Amino acid sequence: GTGKLDGKVALVTGGDSGIGRAVCAAFAKEGADVAIAYLDEDDDAEHTCELVRAEGRKAASFRTDLAVAQNCRDIVARTVDELGGLDILVNNVAYQQTVDDFAELTEEQWRRTFAVNIDSFYFTSHAALEHLTGGGCIINTSSINGLRGNKSLIDYSATKGAVNALTYALAQALNERGIRVNAVAPGPVWTPLIPATMDAEKVESFGQQVPMGRAAQPDEIAPSYVFFASGTMSSYYSGEVLAPIGGETLPG
């Protein structure tokens, strides 16, 4: 690293694995202290914290369900408490479960997906507002599915479309507070969500449809977050959705 984030404090939701973990490691390499929120994968969370500490940075982890509003508020307060402030908020937590037939998509799953994937982004950002004012930033994890939909991930796609719109609107709303708001919308990425939520056949061919012919590794996505987190690199960027999608051109 080259100290792009020296002295900064970041909070990454869903920081225990996948893209979240890669972002934490990349932030720490650039000099940031990092807090993560995670649901229940204690070993994964500890591994992420070890990666952060290996870079000589402080790490904090909070085991909590961000589908609950108060928990979102608590992780912001605890980050400020334990790490002394908050400069970078990464709303990255996500729930997804493939359903091949829309008739089979339950109300329970619909509400859970929205509670985790978009409601938590609102509650966490709202709680972080006072701490981020005057030079902080928010980075939201979206998805290519939010830009063009996915017939097996209808609820998930809908939340990611909402994440994009939230990013655009918040960027406009928070300029006067000096807070930049951007999103990263990856294509297929190898994360624990993939084998956990897809059948073997789909896992086998995962990512082969993109021009590069493969899914990304989380480490290939993390630099997008470093770019948005660094005031020196992206000071003129807000309301941007950056899409690392393996050679495709975005719709529209």
Q: Residue 36 is part of a domain; what is its CATH number?
A: 3.40.50.720
Q: Is the pLDDT of residue 206 over 80?
A: yes
Q: How many CB atoms lie within 10 A of CB 86?
A: 21
Task: Tell me what pLDDT residue 250 has.
Answer: 78
Share of the chain above pLDDT 90, in %: 93
210 in a domain, yes or no? no
The chain-wide mean pLDDT, for the chain, equals: 97
Q: Number of folded domains in the chain?
A: 1
Q: 102: pLDDT confidence band, cut at 50, 70 and 90?
A: very high
The one catalytic residue among 95, 156, 168, 236: 156
Task: Tell me what pLDDT residue 193 has.
Answer: 81
The tokens for 212 are 């590069």
Q: What is the DSSP string of 78-101?
A: HHHHHHS---EEEE--------SS
Mean pLDDT along residues 84-112: 97
2 in a domain, yes or no? no
248 against 178, higher pLDDT: 178
48 in a domain, yes or no? yes
Range from 19-33, 116-130, 200-214 carrying the lowest mean pLDDT: 200-214
Cα–chain-centroid distance for residue 25?
A: 14
The tokens for 188 are 């297929």
Q: How many CB atoms lie within 10 A of CB 54?
A: 12
Mean pLDDT along residues 168-178: 99
Contacting residues for 175 by C-beta, under 8 A, at least 6 apart: 238
Burial of 251 (0-12, 13-18, 19+ CB in 10 A): exposed
CA 188 – CA 175 distance, rounded (Å): 31
200 in a domain, yes or no? no
Nearest to 164 by CA among 177, 176, 189, 182: 182
Task: Tell me what pLDDT residue 172 has.
Answer: 99
Q: 249: pLDDT confidence band, cut at 50, 70 and 90?
A: confident
What confidence tens digit (pLDDT) does each residue in 40-79 have? 999 999 999 999 999 999 999 999 999 999 999 999 999 9
Q: 142: pLDDT confidence band, cut at 50, 70 and 90?
A: very high
Share of the chain above pLDDT 70, in %: 99
The tokens for 7 are 């002295």
Task: Tell me what pLDDT residue 115 has.
Answer: 99
Amino acid at 28: A
Residue 168 a catalytic site member: no
Range from 65-69, 126-130, 141-145, 197-201 carrying the lowest mean pLDDT: 197-201
In whole angstroms, how far apart are CA 184 and each of 69, 111, 167, 250?
23, 23, 10, 13
Task: Tell me what pLDDT residue 252 has.
Answer: 61
The tokens for 79 are 């980050």
Q: Give the domain range for residue 121.
A: 9-188+222-242
CA 226 – CA 234 distance, rounded (Å): 9
Burial of 27 (0-12, 13-18, 19+ CB in 10 A): buried
248 in a domain, yes or no? no
The tokens for 112 are 């859970």
